[in-house]
Structure 1
């Protein structure tokens, strides 16, 4: 078994100083994506009043000088590297917290808080191993990834964690985590022997579950943005107009107006239809990012932008009637505050 090396904060900061901006952002996205997966699969908060809505990572937390973007803060005012967003199931109240204040602000049992902290520590160990590989001169295994892509190794598997991490790190030339690199090498070996396995029923089930998780995360972000618009003063009638316009915008140029209303329904679709529903949901999220631009200082859009960036979904300007109407409604409350 390979020995896991834990770095000190000083050692970690020293290596991070060697990375460029895009590499730091990729590592932060790796951290966020891995933590989201843990929250969805380990169900940390299932026996509490709180629902996990999302997480935002500040890539530049370690840099006192040259910080890009906005700082993240806990509800207590403390600056954060990782900001967790929780919503009360009973009241709908939102909390923006650092991990150390889960028990203090949300009354989450100490045992649950410790379990979440252990999960964060695991992610930090993953990141440390990547940084150590980078320091030793290792980089992204581009030839392996190119071979797998050119020989359709990832065809119909674009939703897998392995493909998404390869996509993320290939863009910035960072080495993969050991398990990911092993899985990539195994796939290439299978392709070279001509034994590329077909998707099994279990693998299809796992891919659908991954798409359903992505759909649920996007829906949570849309719900969060809608709640924030309400908090800023947008009335129920206006919110209904915004939602209607968002739905129409997401379905533009599509022959079918079929929409799933719950993430669980994704698991009952074919892979093709499930992916189509995910694209529709991404377009809906992009709509809300577009129309809240004038409230950027009052509405937290960071995670929504991170999600769209992860899925490589561009936020394009639009002159559609729905976008223009929604922007006018939002601009009205922006000017009144």
Structure 2
């Protein structure tokens, strides 16, 4: 469902957010819009690159009432801006932070493209209104779903960019875009189905002994922490969250390093080292 808020409602909700929450919303909303603009309107022949977008969600708020969110200004005319477009000269590297009027007058960008860039405000509002509306309705980051995903390794297909987005929204305790929320539910459901099938039909590497089970490292750590009676509930959650985040970061680092190796070399390394290692590891990780 598309949610459209009034400018007054939008500013009222922004006024209840922390600086960290505002930064997260702005970052991912602007990333989406900037990507679309770069794809559609900045092509060869234009002497400027669009390198950034900014907007001031508290533009109409009095300066004395603002805590730490700085105002935006046009570097050409000095006027305060609600929407700021950051362009860089392809010839000199000179950067200007402009409003829509100066974008045409000072940068010399075709007025048709300027109008399209200016209309990006509608896209900004469309994406941010979904988050703001959910937040106003008391929705927050889906911690329970996230914990279930981590516990059963349902996040193994996530790329670094998507994982960073999820962790940013988690850190700010913001509701997710509906597409991202649906992806979490889908990944969790798919992983649960995989585990059910493994339990029903047996893992291909599992030995024929009903008293043994293949346990992933994340599930193993979770079981140990949950059973530790020296920790209270809060300490268990903090310990588990820290441990699982470290495992995730290590896995991401390994994946990133491996990805820069040429594909032909990846296959050679996998055949020579990784596959034999996984076969040995699968045998020793089966525990009672």
Same fold (TM over 0.5): yes
Aligned position for 2:49: 51
Q: Is the 8 A contact 1:25 1:59 kept in 2?
A: no
Aligned position for 1:88: 89
Residue 62 (structure 1) shift: 5.2
SS in 2 for 1:160: helix
Kindly name which structure, 1 or 2, has the bigger radius of gyration based on alpha carbons: 2
SS in 1 for 2:51: strand
Q: Is the 8 A contact 1:72 1:79 kept in 2?
A: yes
Gap change, CA 1:151 and 1:105, over 3 Å in 2:
farther
Q: Distance in 1 between matches of 2:60 and 2:191?
A: 42
TM-score (norm 2): 0.60
Q: Distance in 2 between matches of 1:167 and 1:57?
A: 23
Gap change, CA 1:63 and 1:23, over 3 Å in 2:
farther
Q: Deviations over 1:280-321 (max 9, x none)?
A: xxxxxxxxxxxxxxxxxxxxxxxxxxxxxxxxxxxxxxxxxx
Count matched residues.
199
Aligned positions of 1:88-237 closer than 5 A: 88-155=89-156, 157-161=158-162, 163-194=163-194
Residue 36 (structure 1) shift: 3.6
Gaps of at least 5 residues in structure 1 are 197-269, 277-337
SS in 2 for 1:87: strand
Q: Deviations over 1:17-70 (max 9, x none)?
A: 222332222222223333343344x15221411112334455654542133164
Gaps of at least 5 residues in structure 2 are 197-254, 262-288
Aligned position for 1:272: 257
Aligned positions of 1:256-267 closer than 5 A: none
Gap change, CA 1:44 and 1:176, over 3 Å in 2:
same
Aligned position for 2:26: 28
